[in-house]
């Protein structure tokens, strides 16, 4: 589960922003997934737990394929991130100066996204 609060540069919540969660398990999936939510009056959007079941054989085969086709930019396992956009504003969830990248743990995430005018 991922709980997101979207605020402006002054810390005021923004209603009606689109928040997108993207995710992919690079060890077993060739393509990624997206889910959108709209922020409520308090600037909140919540994404449900995303459960996927892969057989042990799929996981082993995917990992072996990734190792055989080694690429310095390759990722392994699950990865997810969230970002917000709309109303000529945009922002991403960060940890310090880096994009917040969920890799399977913890079981829930909480992010505050500060949006700023986009290009």
Omega cis (within 30) before 106: yes
Residue 45's domain is classified under what CATH number?
2.60.40
Q: Total structural domains in the chain?
A: 1
pTM for this prediction: 0.81
Q: Using 50, 70 and 90 to split pLDDT, how confident is the model at 66?
A: low
* Domain hosting residue 29, numbered range: 2-117
pLDDT, tens digit, for every residue of 25-44? Answer: 877 887 889 999 999 999 99
Mean of pLDDT over the chain? 85
Report the run of H or E that residue 62 belongs to, with start and end. helix 56-68
CB atoms within 10 A of CB 48: 10
């Amino acid at each position: 589960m991922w709980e997101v609060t979207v605020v402006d540069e002054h810390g005021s919540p923004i209603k009606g922003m689109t928040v997108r969660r993207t995710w992919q398990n690079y060890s077993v999936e060739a393509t990624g997934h997206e889910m959108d939510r709209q922020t409520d009056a308090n600037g909140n959007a919540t994404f449900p737990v995303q459960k996927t079941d892969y057989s042990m054989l799929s996981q082993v085969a995917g990992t072996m394929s990734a190792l055989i086709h080694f690429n310095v930019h390759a990722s392994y396992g699950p990865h997810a991130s969230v970002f917000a956009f709309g109303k000529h504003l945009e922002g991403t969830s960060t940890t310090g100066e880096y994009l917040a990248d969920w890799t399977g743990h913890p079981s829930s995430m909480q992010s505050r996204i500060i949006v700023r005018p986009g290009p």
